[in-house]
Structure 1
Amino acid sequence: MSAESTDQGHGHSPAAWTAVTVMLIAFTLGTFAFWFDQAWLVWASAGLLAAGALLGWIMKKAGYGVNGAKSDPKGH
């Protein structure tokens, strides 16, 4: 392995974890809403899914992404 690694951390950051958690909750909620035939809740969970992606992007820009100013990288 070379001394110069281009590894970006594979999303091990507060921004990535928050975005994925919110989107996983939205997807799960949407699946149950679809199963119980609740159209309004399916659409609300789709909105929450988009909000999760937006939240991750905002957190990344605020410095909580991989190698961000406010991120505390952990060793493997």
Structure 2
Amino acid sequence: MSTDTTSKAIADTQHEEHDAEGNSIAAWTAVIIMLVAFAVGTAAFCFDLPVVVWIAAGFEVIGLIVGQILKRMGYGVGGHRYVPKAHS
């Protein structure tokens, strides 16, 4: 195998890994839960509602757990239920 062919194969592999990075149902679900929790927690902090701030902090942790559960169920990148989207 020539050096050009080897370099192209390595570049293709790296490109494939980079394309799928974080683009899965598990990742997006975790990010959305955590983003909403962060926004609610920030607003609650501004309005001096410490109970709501702590509840929002709890939802941050829940977002991480939900992401891991979905990943283990196969919805993460490379999982058996993961369907990559075609790039246009």
Which blocks of at least 5 consecutive residues in structure 1 are unaligned?
A: none
**Residue 75 (structure 1) shift:** 2.1
Structure 1 residue 10, shift from structure 2 partner = 1.5
Work out the CA distance in 2 between the residues paired with 1:44 and 1:2: 50
Aligned match of 1:37 in 48, 53, 68?
Answer: 48
Give the equivalent residue in structure 2 for 1:74: 85
1:11-26 superposed matches below 5 A: 11-26=22-37
Q: Give structure 2 stretches of 5+ with no counterpart.
A: 1-6
1:3 aligns with 9
Supply the AA of the counterpart residue of 2:77. V
Q: Which protein has the larger Cα radius of gyration, Structure 1 or Structure 2?
A: 2
User: TM-score if structure 1 supplies the norm length?
Assistant: 0.92
Q: Which amino acid aligns with 2:34?
A: M
Which residue among 47, 63, 67 is the counterpart of 1:56? Answer: 67
Q: Counterpart amino acid of 2:48?
A: D
**Number of residue-to-residue matches in the alignment:** 76
SS of 1:56 mapped into structure 2: helix
Q: Which has the higher helix share?
A: 2
Could you say which structure has the greater relative contact order, defined with CA pairs below 8 angstroms and 6 or more residues apart? 1
Higher deviation after alignment, 28-37 or 5-14: 5-14
Supply the RMSD in Å over aligned alpha carbons: 1.3
Residue 74 (structure 1) shift: 1.0
